[in-house]
Amino acid sequence: MAEKRNSIIEATIELFSDRHYDGMTIPMIAKKANIAVGTMYNYFENKESLINEIYRQIFEKLNQYLIENSVETEDYKEEFKLCYKNFYEFSIANSKIILFLKYNSNAYYISEKSKESKQKMVLFLNNFIQKGIRLNKVKNISKELFLPLIYAPIEMIVTNYVKKEIDDPNKYFEEMFEIVWNSIKK
């Protein structure tokens, strides 16, 4: 039972990277998942509920990963770099789900419940940033600007990696980190 559910989720993520929400149908997902169309409805009420479930799972997984891999150090820059590297490595290793988030984050069909799962991650990152502000290590930039500032370069590298426009995303991390750090440091 869990195997079919996972197969549906994986098929949806795979299809979504090419077709997006409106270009993807339940029959397409069922075919890709190797199941009957009717079986889809045993697991998900409709395409919207499926997308929302995936959205919540991704943010829960990302949030858990960031929390479990966070390390406090005496040097805030090093601590920030570790957190940023964790975010980057998770994004590269899960590039298709990051694109899934990119295309769904502000979509009309994302429920309030799903948006709450994103807010947990935002809260974690915001608290981390506020620590840097309190320590007088980073500029006092509003969170509405801060988070996109640090996330946009990661998202761009992931997008180019999935589109096969770059072959080794890891070679960009150090340069990207220094650019981001130099833009936020005090």
Q: What is the mean pLDDT of residues 83-111?
A: 89
- Please state which CATH class domain 1-44 belongs to: mainly alpha
Q: How far apart are CA 56 and CA 48, in angstroms?
A: 12
Q: Which residue has the higher pLDDT, 78 or 100?
A: 78
**Please, is 51 exposed, middle or buried when counting C-beta atoms within 10 Å of its C-beta (0-12, 13-18, 19+)?**
buried
**Please, is 31 exposed, middle or buried when counting C-beta atoms within 10 Å of its C-beta (0-12, 13-18, 19+)?**
middle
Domains 1-44 and 47-184 in one fold: no
CATH topology of domain 47-184: Tetracycline Repressor; domain 2 (1.10.357)
Q: How far apart are CA 126 and CA 136, in angstroms?
A: 15
Q: How far apart are CA 131 and CA 76, in angstroms?
A: 9
Find where tokens 């964790």 sit: 86
β-bridge mates for residue 185, sequence order:
138
Task: Identify whether the C-beta of residue 139 lies closer than 8 Å to the C-beta of residue 186.
Answer: yes
Q: What is the pTM of this model?
A: 0.85
Q: How far apart are CA 41 and CA 184, in angstroms?
A: 47
Domain residues of the chain, as ranges? 1-44, 47-184
Q: How confident is the model at residue 69 (pLDDT cuts 50, 70, 90)?
A: very high
Q: How confident is the model at residue 152 (pLDDT cuts 50, 70, 90)?
A: very high
